[in-house]
Structure 1
């Protein structure tokens, strides 16, 4: 950690050049003594990346930023804030703290935080930033979290761990393919804490994860603006009942959808769509959960087709997790050919053609609030003209 970066004139330069070309700065001659051009460019790039993802850091003074990759890989503030409510007890150990974003938000809800980071430089700047925030209940430990846990006599309310995939190129992975391997250390975790929170990438298959773990009380599927951000696996000591799945959408307001894992077996109502009413497009968190039939039952909706994850109703359900459209017109594809001056954003669901091809084929002009949804119903392929009334 180069503390010269914290000098007032350097911090002012970083703020004033937040939108500058960092490649040019990195290649130019050093502007400040004892600070390389690459270091300066790195601070600017990392701070700029934090503007929307980590506004607390961006808007605070004398923050020391890590390499850009650490910013890209860390939790965003909304997701970190959400998971802070899942901690149990008065003490928590973060075994893989990285830049310390999750530790900082856990510290808002939990009395004592032990934040382990094996990268000493990252640990030092994380400790510095915690001090800047006045988060005095965070103790940063520059060491391997698993090793610390093996040697300590402390018992924690919660263990939090964010294992990294060893092979980032694989779309499908298992927990045992991550570092640390939580399956190998699960008994250790259960002996040291009452609750374990494991964060994984959303690509992890839920059924596969349940086979690798035990005592899973809850699985939280967290999305932000219809992008699935993370899965949170909650393991409680001595838990042996049915796992609860929680779909959480973190948009203007928090919405959740909970169900017991065995409820996925429920059947659903499939019916002919009507020319008036409302069309529902589930948030990605709902889709990840696989609760396609349960969605219809809980919200009293009807499904367009067994393989089409769109739903409709005569009256609006504003607590639905996802987009809602007001149906204006139903058109067969032959009827659509006769339509003139078509406008709208094109959505394709369970339909054999790509959106860009349909735009060209039917000469559709984009429009902010109007949509044309190409999909399959029990009566075949149709186009639905609709107006959006609830965004993600």
Structure 2
């Protein structure tokens, strides 16, 4: 950590060039003797990342230090950090086993009595210590070193142990639990020796059912999305829990309260939605719903008809404003065979679900540009007819 970066003149340079291409700054000669151009580029890139993920840190006017780009890739956003903190009991103690850039520890500290931030990278630990101090956080204790080794040597118990295992090992992205670092499967007995509740953040691409087969005592799974983009999976384990895990599809927005759809896989298996023709409105569930696997449950809860067993699109003759996803007023339903002969749309948003052609193939085939207010859903109905549903977004 180069403390010269914290000087007023260097900080002024970073703010002045905050919206420029960081790579171009790296190629130019640095105006500062004790701060290289690559270090300036790193700080500008970090400012840009934090401005999109944790904007409120910048709004406080604190003098922050940004680590290497890799350390910022896996860090949480403000919205996901706040949601995770909402799962904690007030005045609790939290061990952040893989602290990283400290975003989660920062939000845990807003709810918990004490947080211990473990980080194996000495420079990153130093950076986080500086940043959280600048941000006025005084209830986080910092441990520089391996979180697992810290836990092995500790005789203390914690209300929560939180882990966000690294999904990049030897410069390769990994997704399986046993390939991440640390391997949380190998340390389950150790975790439960020190806490009754474990919270683990895992990759959005992870197979939820597979993880449930190997992780014991999972009580809740949270599938978190922001603007229809799946960001995180959270597995909450309680030492004494032996029941059926509850799955929560969580949609975070700029509003205070998240949208949450909860179910379990027994309910999903037993649900029997009605299949039907498109009527007045088309319902396309949020990615949190589909990643969670609530394909039939969302239909039965909202009394929707499913277009096809595998299409995961739904319809109803009247509007349901609280539906967890996008809603479209159907303008027209066109058989694919007719659409091929009578295409007069040159620009539209195209979605393909349970359809033999991919979106890029459809665009090339019919020369349709992306964008505009029109939406074309290429899909398959329950009787295996290929159709295009033309709709207008209901906001």
* Deviating more after overlay: 92-101 vs 373-382: 373-382
Residue of structure 2 in register with 1:382 after alignment: 387
Measured after TM superposition, the shift of residue 15 of structure 1 is 0.2
Aligned pairs for 1:184-333 (under 5 A) are 184-253=186-255, 254-274=258-278, 276-333=279-336
Aligned pairs for 1:1-392 (under 5 A) are 1-59=1-59, 60-88=61-89, 90-165=92-167, 166=169, 169=172, 173-253=175-255, 254-274=258-278, 276-336=279-339, 337-338=341-342, 340-341=344-345, 343-364=347-368, 366-379=370-383, 380-390=385-395
Unaligned stretches of 5+ residues in structure 2: none
Over residues 18-67 of structure 1, what are the superposed CA-to-partner deviations in whole Å (9 max), with x where a residue is unaligned? 12343343233331132122111211111122211121233332101111
Measured after TM superposition, the shift of residue 114 of structure 1 is 0.6
Taking the aligned partners of 1:291 and 1:354, their CA distance within structure 2 comes to 24
Residues 365/123 of structure 1: CA separation in 2 closer, same or farther (3 Å cut): closer
Unaligned stretches of 5+ residues in structure 1: none
* Deviating more after overlay: 208-217 vs 101-110: 208-217
* 8 Å CA contact 1:255, 1:319 repeated in 2: no
Taking the aligned partners of 2:276 and 2:346, their CA distance within structure 1 comes to 25
* 8 Å CA contact 1:343, 1:371 repeated in 2: no
Residues 304/63 of structure 1: CA separation in 2 closer, same or farther (3 Å cut): same
Measured after TM superposition, the shift of residue 378 of structure 1 is 1.9
- When normalised by structure 2's length, the TM-score is 0.93
* 8 Å CA contact 2:62, 2:135 repeated in 1: no
Measured after TM superposition, the shift of residue 234 of structure 1 is 0.2
SS in 1 for 2:189: helix
Over residues 252-310 of structure 1, what are the superposed CA-to-partner deviations in whole Å (9 max), with x where a residue is unaligned? 44211101232221243343314x42111111111111221111111111100111110
Taking the aligned partners of 1:79 and 1:64, their CA distance within structure 2 comes to 22
Taking the aligned partners of 1:215 and 1:112, their CA distance within structure 2 comes to 25
Taking the aligned partners of 2:19 and 2:299, their CA distance within structure 1 comes to 47
SS in 2 for 1:39: helix
Taking the aligned partners of 1:203 and 1:354, their CA distance within structure 2 comes to 20
SS in 2 for 1:103: helix
* 8 Å CA contact 2:274, 2:304 repeated in 1: no
Taking the aligned partners of 1:345 and 1:357, their CA distance within structure 2 comes to 14
Over residues 68-122 of structure 1, what are the superposed CA-to-partner deviations in whole Å (9 max), with x where a residue is unaligned? 1111221111111111112246110101001100000111111111111111111
* 8 Å CA contact 1:163, 1:181 repeated in 2: yes
Measured after TM superposition, the shift of residue 131 of structure 1 is 0.7
Aligned length: 388
- When normalised by structure 1's length, the TM-score is 0.93
Taking the aligned partners of 1:22 and 1:331, their CA distance within structure 2 comes to 48
Taking the aligned partners of 1:126 and 1:229, their CA distance within structure 2 comes to 23
* 8 Å CA contact 1:296, 1:303 repeated in 2: yes
